[in-house]
């Protein structure tokens, strides 16, 4: 179920991002809930990150004007899977260490995502 949630995640968070334009916060909050209620195996979150990125890339492909250019679209296509898998794993490993520290995992993942968006 974790991977299925991740496939549909971008469809769920996109309307929220439209009104609250901080995708790194909205997406990492969604991932935190997926980790909290989802599977307890690390490899699952690598696949979940790839699934999330694949669906998100569809949004960028449909609206190429938002991504800026075809070359940026190609870079996002390659690096987005790595980003989302990494942020899922950050949240998961912090959660696995201590469930009460999941806000710390959320903050670290949000910072990574913010820096990615800033420099891409």
Contact 27, 113 (CB under 8 A): yes
Write down the domain spans for the chain. 2-119
* Dihedral over Cα of 8, 26, 77, 3: its sign: negative
Tell me the torsion sign for CA atoms 88, 91, 9, 119.
Answer: negative
Q: Torsion angle of alpha carbons 24, 83, 114, 92, nearest 10°?
A: 60
Q: Is 67's pLDDT higher than 60?
A: no
Give mean pLDDT, residues 41-66.
86
Position 38 scores a pLDDT of: 93
Q: What is the pLDDT of residue 42?
A: 94
> Tokens representing 12?
């769920």
In this prediction the pTM is: 0.91
């Amino acid at each position: 179920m974790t991977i299925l949630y991740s496939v549909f995640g971008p469809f769920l968070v996109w309307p929220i991002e439209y009104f609250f334009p901080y995708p790194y916060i909205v997406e990492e909050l969604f991932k935190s809930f997926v980790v909290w209620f989802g599977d307890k195996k690390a490899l699952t979150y690598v696949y979940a990150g790839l699934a999330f990125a694949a669906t998100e890339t569809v949004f960028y492909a449909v609206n190429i004007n938002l991504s800026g250019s075809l070359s940026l679209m190609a870079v996002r296509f390659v690096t987005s899977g790595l980003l989302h898998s990494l942020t899922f794993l950050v949240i998961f490993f912090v959660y696995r260490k201590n469930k009460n520290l999941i806000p710390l995992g959320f903050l670290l993942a949000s910072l990574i995502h913010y820096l990615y968006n800033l420099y891409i």
